[in-house]
Structure 1
Amino acid sequence: MSPKKTCAAAIALVIASQWTPAAQAATVNVTTAAQLKAALASATPGTTISLAAGTYRGSFVTQKAGTSAQPITLTGPAGAVLINDGPAGDPPDCPAPAPGYDSGYGLWLVDAPYWNLTGFTVVESKKGIVADNSHHTVIDRVTVRKTDEEGVHFRKSSADSIIRNSTVTDTGLVQIGFGEGVYIGSAESNWECHGNSGGVDRSDRVQVLNNTIGPNVTAEHVDVKEGTQKGVIRGNTFNGKGISGQHSADSWVDVKGSGYLLENNTGTFSKPGTLANGYETHQITGGASGCGNTWKNNRSDVGGSGEYAIKITTLSQCASNPNVVHASNTVAGAKKGLTNAKVTP
């Protein structure tokens, strides 16, 4: 072999020995609850945890982080069903994994950014899926149903996350007024626990895309909390049958954050249940809270129950940063019409 070819071969060997592509990351096949717990506890960037069809009972929590280049994936068919029969043990002052404590959550991500959750089902748990300080969580084609409280919660600054193509039904079976379908951020009263960005829960830029939420979601289908901003709620189907009206749970979407875009959603309502308005805004903390949000091309049928498709309760508070309701929105079955705000072409 010529010296030139020998040198090229040596360089290629060095490059090959140093290059570990994401495609070579481990795939862990799981068939039991014990295996799932172990896989969640030992996952590393690029790991794929593949669930076989079957029922997985237990407390499923991870504190392992993926990366933008190598997220961690938990995937399985709809017939792979996670159930948490908890909670159990003495909870800490603020929710956090602790020896002997079971949160009761179907799946709990804690300090675990860059996870992809796809395909499987979570049922019969206190809460469905909770992401705490777990930014860039992607939930895709997941089903959550029959939860005591909310279905999916992006909490403790779990920013830049997405839930898409998923189904959430039958929430709030125990805590009716706390049975939100998708919950973004935290109430100001809980920032002491969940505010880790200057005291505010900054679960910003969360996207809720092309999901089916309801029926029998007993609180808001999407609850956007104060302090969050610049999310997108697009292409969803909201079935308001069964919404309770308790604890101010009387709309498909309540926007207390700022700078959200709500477009191309379809909302319906039929008895039993209580619907005051299809969409609402509220100002909780002052400033930008409940301001600067935009509605485009949403189709609403409030079933003869609600006053408006879109009620802006922050008209005077948001004079310098108004909420915008475009004429492309439509309404049927409203007692008072499309909106109480000025309609923008």
Structure 2
Amino acid sequence: MSPRSSAVFLGAVSISAAVAVTAGLGGPAPARAAGANLSAAFAQTSVWTSGYGGGYTVTNRGGTTATGWTVEFDLPAGSAVSSSWSSVRTQAGQHYRFTNAGFNATIPPGGNENFGFNVAGTGLPTGCTVNGLPCDGGSQATTTPATTPATTTPTTPTPPPAGDVVDVSTAAQLQAALANAAPGQAIRLAAGTYRGSFVTTKAGTAAKPITLSGPTNAVLINDGPSGDAPDCPAPTAGWDSGYGLWLASAPYWTLRGFTVQDSKKGIVADDSPHTTIDGVTVHHIDEEAVHFRRSSADSVLKNSTITYTGLVQPGYGEGVYLGSAGSNWGCHGNSGGVDRGDRIQVLDNHIGPFVAAEPIDVKEGTFDGLIRGNTFDGRGISGQNSADSWIDVKGIGYTIEGNTGTFAPPGTFANGYENHNPSTTPSFDNGCGNVWRGNKSDLGGVGAYAVKISSVSQCAADPNVVYASNTVTNARSGLTNIPVTP
């Protein structure tokens, strides 16, 4: 279990506007739009032994749109921001200044935007200001309109989403849409941050798949996990898995365009075959970014970007995870005791840098997948739990073609592509019958082979094949350790 905790709200601490504005980080804070009343609230999103992940939510409590924001704070000696996102960061000593990125500068009345960061060390922010005033918003001037006698309007329950198109703009609306999704529906995310537990058990059909789509700046965040977990992961009352988005027994979904970040796992498909994930962004994840699990066969991941995984458990921070290790079939082996994530396609994605485990891990007992046209940036591969290659293939009959991989420090790197042959019950020729063709590999002077075949004898009846169309540069040993097929 990841040490990620539920979000710990720590509030905001005031310092004088004069101190913040003269902190020496590039001039005064941007002017506030008249009537905008900004506050900024800090929360930790994950905690580990030597640091934590956290962020601020900037909220406009006024009546006029804010057109820019700057949040500043101090960290105690011995703690430092090591990475950040959704903002522009500058630093002077222990004082940090974060200004909005282009996509999250504008905050309408009642709206909010957020940014996040990782800290090496355990010290928490102090002296927070937003646009030069205390982050609690208490000192900001507001204009009080003339009052009129209050009237009470009866409230009516909000009906569940219905219709062919369901537009959502809040976390509660998204949760309701996922809970009540129907075949053929298109759920559309507005730009913004959606913070909570997002899970669906509703199935589409081949003729009427369900679509969840949104722009890149529609961001799903799960600050969990929380509650008592069941023995095997399954949607359970009172338990938050911490997954950014979870499809559970929900086949025929298409996920398109949005972002998942700051979660225990990114996107998990359990017993959800025919899932299509297209053009999503997944980053800053405690463990793996995308996991096709419990026989989520005939699925596709394409045109997507994955970075910064394994923030808490580096050896379990895969970019893409196909199937389950045989040791986990007791939970996830729902097809004759096996997790049969067969015929999954991973196409034209950009995976890395700072994916701590393998960019793609192909597990035993899975068959006939296609991994094509991807770009692997190996910077940051951790080497933990044998994570030292772009792809580790334990499945059977995979085609790996037209991919481009590079490695450069930092990181631990043994070979570009590897196969292994774990034994399982029931028995399969794991790690056999795979084909590599047309892949380009730059091993950075560190890796030995572009394709390292671990055992030839175990696959005598169904050999692995490495074609001469593969190329390698900066290898310590060469293209492959087996004879090349013309």
SS at match of 1:177: helix
Task: For 1:1-345, list aligned pairs within 5 A.
Answer: 26-285=164-423, 287-345=428-486
**Once the 2 structures are TM-superposed, how far is the Cα of residue 288 of structure 1 from its aligned partner?**
1.4
Q: 4+ residue stretches of structure 1 with deviation over 2 A?
A: none
**Once the 2 structures are TM-superposed, how far is the Cα of residue 314 of structure 1 from its aligned partner?**
2.2
Query: What is the identity, as a one-letter code, of the residue corresponding to 1:85?
Result: D
**Once the 2 structures are TM-superposed, how far is the Cα of residue 300 of structure 1 from its aligned partner?**
0.2
Query: What is the identity, as a one-letter code, of the residue corresponding to 1:257?
Result: G
SS at match of 1:267: strand
The CA distance in 1 between the partners of 2:163 and 2:450, in whole Å, is 48
Alignment size in residue pairs:
322
Radius of gyration: which is bigger?
A: 2
Once the two structures are superposed, what CA deviation does each residue of 1:103-154 show, in whole Å capped at 9, x if it has no partner? Answer: 0000000000000000000000000000000000000000000000000000
The CA distance in 2 between the partners of 1:205 and 1:172, in whole Å, is 26
Segments of structure 1 that go 5 or more residues without pairing to the other structure are: 1-23
Name the stretch that deviates more: 312-321 or 106-115. Answer: 312-321
Distance change >3 Å, CA 337–CA 79, structure 1 → 2: same
**Once the 2 structures are TM-superposed, how far is the Cα of residue 169 of structure 1 from its aligned partner?**
0.3
Aligned-residue identity in percent: 70
Query: What is the identity, as a one-letter code, of the residue corresponding to 1:84?
Result: N
Larger helix fraction of residues: 1
The CA distance in 2 between the partners of 1:314 and 1:71, in whole Å, is 42
**Once the 2 structures are TM-superposed, how far is the Cα of residue 287 of structure 1 from its aligned partner?**
3.6
The CA distance in 2 between the partners of 1:288 and 1:27, in whole Å, is 46
SS at match of 1:73: strand
Name the stretch that deviates more: 286-295 or 172-181. Answer: 286-295
Contact 2:365–2:428 (8 Å) recurs in 1: no
Q: Which residue of 1 aligns with 2:84?
A: none
> Pairwise CA RMSD of aligned residues?
0.9
Q: Which residue of 1 aligns with 2:15?
A: none
Normalising by the residue count of structure 1, what TM-score does the alignment of the two structures yield?
0.93
Segments of structure 2 that go 5 or more residues without pairing to the other structure are: 1-161
Query: What is the identity, as a one-letter code, of the residue corresponding to 1:31?
Result: S
Contact 1:291–1:314 (8 Å) recurs in 2: no
The CA distance in 2 between the partners of 1:25 and 1:310, in whole Å, is 50
SS at match of 1:190: helix
The CA distance in 1 between the partners of 2:482 and 2:443, in whole Å, is 17
The CA distance in 1 between the partners of 2:350 and 2:252, in whole Å, is 24
Once the two structures are superposed, what CA deviation does each residue of 1:274-296 show, in whole Å capped at 9, x if it has no partner? Answer: 11000000001264100000000
The CA distance in 1 between the partners of 2:163 and 2:321, in whole Å, is 33
